[in-house]
Amino acid sequence: MISFAGIAYPILVLGSLGLAFGALLAFASIKFFVAVDERVSKIREILPGANCGGCGYPGCDGYADGVVNAGAKTNLCAAGGSDLAKGIASIMGVEGESSEPVRAFLKCKGSPDFSVRNADYVGVRDCRSAAIVPGGSPNSCPFGCIGFGTCVKVCVFGALSIVNGLAMIDPTKCVGCGTCVANCPKSVLKLVPRSSDVQVTCNSNWRGPDVKRVCTAGCIGCGICVKACQVGAITLNANLASIDASKCTNCGACAAKCPAKCIGSVMPEELKASA
């Protein structure tokens, strides 16, 4: 038999307990109020609030606190770009450092059309777990994009997708926070300056014949691009050409000579229109 008192009593007691604690907390929040530096909340307000952690601090709150109290630089927020850096600098009353906007870029062309898939992987569909199976990748090339979309999962800006077995970056959504780069087990993603056009689209450190065996679009380390470059921006490290973006003039001389066709214009059309 359920009595009215049997229900009302507990509700009353718990309710008054809750009320008492609530009152205590309300009192404490006034009594023990600590003035927070108003610059922290101001900076926090203009930060994007995606909590991507690209700045190296735990979330936007942490970064705002870091700028005011720990002397963090004002240009660490990749998502906000240079406008935000200026805003933070003006709140802090300091001369802002400019920040070169960057975007994520996939150093791999090895879709199934160019590179054979070795195995039919049936484990957890996550590159980080696929990368620890023997061989380092279900694909024949252990350096290339696995294409299980770990980067897609970690991107809080929704800038990535998997198209034809490769990570595809939407340049209009990518803010260059670097979360995907940090989570890619193959390190096949990298950050490049937003204005950079000509890039090497391969990540393989193997020698030429080995690369040719597994992928028809990989860098064979022939070094023709190094000679073709007028400004000396290309170096060959461990059988892989790499372009120094600070020297590169995006002339395309290397791309024209590359026998493997793994150097080329990689700037998406959306960016070219705005550039």
Partner 1 sequence: MSIVWLFLGSIFVNNILLSRFLGCCPFLGVSTKSETAKGMGVAVIFVTVLAAIVTWLVYNLVLVPLKLQFLYTLSFILVIAALVQFVELVLKKINPVLYKSLGIFLPLITTNCAVLGVAVINMNENYSLLESAVNALGSSMGFLLAIVLMAGIRERIEHNTNIPQCLHGLPIALVTAGLMSIAFMGFSGIIK
**For residue 224, what are its two tokens?**
């023709």
Instruction: Tell me if 231 contacts partner 1 by CB under 8 A.
Output: no
**Are the beta carbons of 80 and 52 closer than 8 angstroms?**
no
Binding partner 1 (rule: CB under 8 A), the pick from 7, 8, 29, 259 is: 29
Kindly write out the interface string for residues 113-132 of this chain, putting x where it contacts partner 1 by CB under 8 A and - elsewhere. Answer: -------------------x
Instruction: Tell me if 238 contacts partner 1 by CB under 8 A.
Output: no
**Span near partner 1 by CB under 8 A; candidates 31-39, 74-82, 94-102, 112-120:** 31-39
CA distance 225 to 233: 10
Instruction: Tell me if 34 contacts partner 1 by CB under 8 A.
Output: yes
- Give the number of other Cβ atoms within 10 Å of residue 107's Cβ: 24
Binding partner 1 (rule: CB under 8 A), the pick from 18, 135, 223, 259 is: 18
Q: Closer to partner 1 at the Cβ: 20 or 256?
A: 20
For strands 189-193 and 102-106, give the pairing: antiparallel
Q: What one-character DSSP code corresponds to residue 96?
A: P
Instruction: Tell me if 13 contacts partner 1 by CB under 8 A.
Output: yes
Binding-site size, partner 1 (CB under 8 A): 17
Binding partner 1 (rule: CB under 8 A), the pick from 8, 17, 124, 182 is: 17
**For residue 5, what are its two tokens?**
């008192």
**For residue 177, what are its two tokens?**
């926070």
Query: Minimum distance from CB of 20 to partner 1 (Å)?
Result: 9
Binning the chain into helix, strand and coil, the percentages to the nearest 5 are 35, 15, 50
CA distance 152 to 18: 43
CA distance 151 to 180: 5
Q: Closer to partner 1 at the Cβ: 28 or 238?
A: 28
Query: Minimum distance from CB of 91 to partner 1 (Å)?
Result: 23
Binding partner 1 (rule: CB under 8 A), the pick from 1, 4, 32, 95 is: 32
Query: Minimum distance from CB of 238 to partner 1 (Å)?
Result: 22
Instruction: Tell me if 265 contacts partner 1 by CB under 8 A.
Output: no
Instruction: Tell me if 9 contacts partner 1 by CB under 8 A.
Output: yes
In the chain, where do the E strands start and end?
102-106, 160-163, 166-169, 189-193, 198-200, 234-237, 240-243, 263-265
Residues that bind partner 1 (CB under 8 A): 9-10, 13-14, 17-18, 21-22, 24-25, 28-29, 32-34, 58, 132
